[in-house]
Chain A
């Protein structure tokens, strides 16, 4: 296996595990007794440690090992879960993440700051440890209760644990032959992770007969690894003739363990306890083994060591037949097992695909769309009915492929939202305010490339809401609000775009203060009339400190202008709603995808333009009378409302001959409407968005280009910018008239 590739997988898995760990920890904060969550945190740390060991990433192993020991204590109930512990474990998780990024991703040593941080955390963690954690091999009474949670037994059949079980009895001459069991265990540890070791010294004879140069040791090992059986056997290659070795793969049948216990020289009860203590079988599974054996014996079917035959009937049936357990119980147990298997099957239905491959696929689909447009154009010209039919079928299929391919890249926004639980928790602790996070519309999907880019802006907005938006508890109570503030993240789809809301129930923005500040700074003229929206939007201006202007709480200046720039770079829009004393809602609107859209093709003179179909509301033909009427002004009366419009011919200085007819395409974005006056309506068109070069970065009104079936280039119109322009022009004209 390619090591680089494996390392990448490790990185991805570690990040996911750390995320799961964080979520489970946050869960624990509200429900400290949640055994599942404790188990999840433990497993995450455990797995990371194991995989890091595989790659020889010592700093990660060393730190995670201590964290894991603490978690083990938590799992056993030896350490109680409280706020401090969770805070510590969260920081430990952060530290592991730092280590993973620095050591695994960049391949270097952790930097000084990280090391110092790690040392401080280790000290705190060790405080919980006290003595070394131990598994007592001869005290079955101390079976930890918590262990039952992660390893729930599921009745008869196979054991639940995912470890290999290795039984090893060394021959007496091993040491004299120059081989040492120690080195085999050391070597084994490089192939995976040794989950537990029980060293058996029972074979050692009385002192007088004990030869100090002979080996009397036996081992029961539980081993977690992806290696196959041959590889594991290979570890013991050199002592093959000189030891007895039994390897049970993960999820072996209970029967196999019974066989194992029978085969081994030690006391059967003792062995059973060892198996339970090391976690490879649960107490319940052991009980079943004992029962099964008892049954066999009672049936006169002796099971001497070494020749236990596999049972003819499933264990469950035997139990029922003998009246040991009720049928319902067995059914329930079997049902549970089936459920577990099904959920596992569901997991394996996902495959991990490199994002680059998906991007390539989508690029190809884009080319396919263009090619099929060209084919269907040619077929239309040829007037061959059969050909025409064939191409139209193909177009429909291409459309489906396009949607399917884009769908592949769609991810739910919930994952991004969930990350904010931690942010809200930490920031609210820092600020000394009690703030909760509510999430809505987590299942709303959007393009992965968009999701990746909105994390930072959202982070700014959430922090800002918590810092400047939500008031102190006293103030809130004085205002008759609950002391606990709420930040709400919400997402929904709206006409081809996704709307993400960051809302708080804080003090809201103070319009007058904002305006005064803006005038003072010269951003707004003293006599300028601004709508509420426009005033609120001022907080997105560069260098506009919201802290002083709005809430008097001095806080770090959060670069809201950066937020706006980031959103605009995604062809998105940001708007703000606020009511003083009630709260503020910031709404981000983003296009669903950045690759292919359904477009509406327009003709102006000899050029073609595309607007996203989702934004088109209706098309109206302008009659000759109306054309006359609207010559001097830039709005029409659309069923009683004023509709400002832009003549694209003028806007783009189109030279070609004017058409005999003119149409108005009514487009809508973010609640505002405007008309675009064009010559020709050419209908729907699958549009593959090709970004414009850097040179055109500042071009207003055009957001990209696309290639038509004929090979011509059409510009994609930036509808939000055009609407803004139409509305501005119109209001300016009106102000001039009235003023």
Chain B
């Protein structure tokens, strides 16, 4: 499930549950829509229970589009499932967000 709240132009998006190919179409629309309206965007990944390559690609897309339009995008509160993907693809640096190592 994807939800967002707006705080003074800053979109705080939260993804809960799976972030896989089954949600990919829906999430792409939602993310791009938020990007179109926001001045800043934050994606809270703490609720992501499973992520596959499509989910990861969406994050890359969001990051790229945000950078293209000069809007800051932050990924925060990576869940273990997210971290594992970031780690396998070695892409933490690409996003440049501080990642809190689990325990």
* Contacting pair A182 B92 (CB below 8 A): no
A204 touches B61 (CB 8 A): yes
Residue among B57, B85, B91, B94 with the highest chain A CB neighbour number at 10 A: B57
Contact A207 B21 (CB under 8 A): no
The answer to whether the Cβ of A181 comes within 8 Å of any Cβ in the partner chain is yes
Chain A, residues 124-162, CB within 8 Å of chain B (1/0): the string is 001000011011110000000000000000000000000
In the complex where A182-B53, A215-B53, A217-B53 touch, is A197 in contact with B88 (Cβ < 8 A)? yes
Nearest-neighbour CB distance to chain B for A76, whole angstroms, equals: 14
Query: Do A199 and B61 form a contact, CB below 8 Å, given A137-B94, A180-B53, A213-B25?
Result: no
The distance in angstroms between the C-alpha atoms of A212 and B31, with both chains bound, is: 12
The yes or no answer to A175 lying at the interface (CB within 8 A) is yes
Check A132–B57 contact: CB distance below 8 A.
no
Q: Which B residues are in CB contact (< 8 Å) with A199?
A: 89-91, 94
B1 proximal to A (CB < 8 A): no
A196 neighbours in B (Cβ, 8 Å)? 90
Interface residues on B, range: 20 to 34
A204 with B93: CB separation less than 8 A: no
CB contact under 8 A between A180 and B61, given known A197-B90, A199-B89: no
> Contact mask A219-237 → B, CB, 8 Å, 1/0?
1000000000000000000
**C-beta contact mask, A175-195 vs B, less than 8 Å → 1, else 0?**
110001110011001000000
Residue from the list A136, A197, A201 in contact with B64, Cβ < 8 A = A201
Contact, CB under 8 Å: A207 / B57: no
- Produce 1/0 per residue, B76-103, CB < 8 A to A: 0000000001001111111000110100
Closest Cβ of chain A: how far from B36's Cβ, in Å? 10
B90 and A213 contacting across the interface, CB-CB below 8 Å = no
Instruction: Give bound CA distance, A196 to B88, whole Å.
Output: 10
Closest A residue to B22 by beta carbon equals A213
Instruction: Check: B65 CB closer than 8 A to any chain A CB.
Output: yes
- Does A198 make an interface contact (CB < 8 A)? yes
B60 to chain A, nearest CB (A): 5
- The complex places the Cα of A197 from the Cα of B91 at a distance, in Å, of 9
Give the contacting residue for A204; candidates B60, B92, B98; CB below 8 A. B60
Taking a contact as CB atoms under 8 Å apart, the answer to whether B25 and A212 are in contact is: yes
Give the residues in chain B near A189, CB-CB below 8 Å.
88
Are the C-beta atoms of B89 and A210 separated by less than 8 Å?
no
Task: Give complex CA distance A132, B101 in Å.
Answer: 8
Contact between chains at B24 and A213 (CB < 8 Å): yes
Give A169 to B91 CA distance when docked, in angstroms: 17
Residue B27 is within 8 A (CB to CB) of chain A in the complex: yes
Interface size class of A (residues with CB under 8 A): 20 to 34
Q: Separation in Å of the A729 CB from the closest CB of chain B?
A: 73
- Cα distance, A186 to B98, chains bound together (Å): 24
Decide if A216 is an interface residue (CB 8 Å cutoff).
yes
The interface residues of chain B lying within 8 Å CB-to-CB of A213 are 21, 24-25, 54
The answer to whether B57 touches A198, judged by C-beta atoms less than 8 angstroms apart, is no
User: Of A132, A186, A201, which is within 8 A of B60 by CB?
Assistant: A201
Name the residue on B nearest A201 (C-beta): B60
Once the chains bind, are B64 and A204 in contact (CB under 8 Å)? yes
Distance between Cα atoms of A182 and B32 in the complex (Å): 24
CB distance from A172 to the nearest CB of B (A): 11
CB-contacts of B23-72 with A (<8 A)? 24-25, 27-28, 32, 52-54, 56-58, 60-61, 64-65
Minimum CB–CB distance from B24 to chain A (whole Å) comes to 4
A216 to B60, CA, bound (A): 11
Assess whether A175 is in contact with B90, with CB atoms less than 8 Å apart: no
Find out whether the CB atom of A212 lies under 8 angstroms from the CB atom of B93.
no
Q: Are A212 and B101 in contact (CB under 8 A)?
A: no
Chain B residues with CB under 8 Å of A197's CB are: 88-90
Q: Is the CB of B32 within 8 A of A207?
A: yes
Nearest residue, chain A, Cβ from B86: A132
- Cβ contacts under 8 Å, B52 to chain A: 175, 180, 182
Q: Select from chain B the residue with minimum beta-carbon distance to A219.
A: B89
A204 to B99, CA, bound (A): 25
Closest CB in chain A relative to B99 CB, distance in Å: 6
User: B98 near A212 (CB under 8 angstroms)?
Assistant: no
What is the minimal beta-carbon distance from A127 to any residue of chain B, in angstroms? 12
In the bound complex, residues from chain A placing their C-beta under 8 Å from that of B99 are 131-132
Whole-angstrom distance between the Cβ of B75 and the nearest chain A Cβ = 13
Instruction: Please tell me if the beta carbons of A175 and B88 are within 8 angstroms of each other in the complex.
Output: no
Q: Which of chain A's residues have a CB closer than 8 A to the CB of B25?
A: 212-213
A135 to B94, CA, bound (A): 9
Instruction: Indicate whether A212 sits within 8 Å of B64 (C-beta atoms), given known contacts A137-B94, A197-B88.
Output: no
Contact A207 B24 (CB under 8 A): no
Asked if B88 and A186 sit within 8 Å, CB to CB, the answer is yes
B85 touches A132 (CB 8 A): no
A215 to B27, CA, bound (A): 16
Give complex CA distance A212, B52 in Å. Answer: 12
Q: Cβ of A201: which chain B residues have Cβ within 8 Å of it? A: 57, 60, 64, 94
Bound CA–CA A198/B58 (angstroms): 18
B57 engages A216 (CB within 8 Å): yes
Q: From known contacts A207-B61, A210-B61, A212-B28, infer whether A135 and B93 are also in contact, taking CB-CB under 8 Å.
A: yes
User: Contacting A212 at CB < 8 Å: which of B24, B65, B88, B89?
Assistant: B24
Q: Which of A198, A204, A210, A212 meets B90, CB within 8 Å?
A: A198
In Å, the complex CA distance between A395 and B56 comes to 77
The residue among B32, B64, B88 with the most chain A CB atoms within 10 A of its own CB is B88
Question: Which of A186, A196, A198, A199 has the most chain B CB atoms closer than 10 A to its own CB?
Answer: A199
Q: A517 to B94: give the CA distance in the assembly, Å.
A: 74
Give the CA-CA distance A568 to B91 in the complex, in Å.
63
Known: A182-B52, A213-B21. A135 touches B90 (CB 8 A): yes
From residue A183, how far is it (CB to closest CB) to chain B in Å?
9
CB distance from A121 to the nearest CB of B (A): 15
Point out which of B32, B58, B94 has the most chain A C-beta atoms below 10 A from its C-beta: B94
Q: Please, which residues of chain B bring their CB within 8 A of the CB of A212?
A: 21, 24-25, 27-28, 54, 57-58, 61
Residues of B within 8 A of A126 (CB): 101
B contact set with A: CB distance below 8 Å:
21, 24-25, 27-28, 32, 52-54, 56-58, 60-61, 64-65, 85, 88-94, 98-99, 101
Some 22 contacts from A to B, beta carbons below 8 A apart, are A131-B98, A134-B93, A137-B93, A181-B53, A182-B85, A182-B88, A182-B89, A185-B88, A186-B88, A189-B88, A196-B90, A197-B89, A199-B94, A201-B57, A204-B60, A210-B61, A212-B25, A212-B57, A213-B54, A215-B54, A217-B53, A217-B57
The 10 closest A-B pairs by CB, nearest first: A212-B24, A134-B93, A197-B90, A212-B28, A199-B89, A201-B60, A136-B93, A180-B53, A180-B52, A185-B88
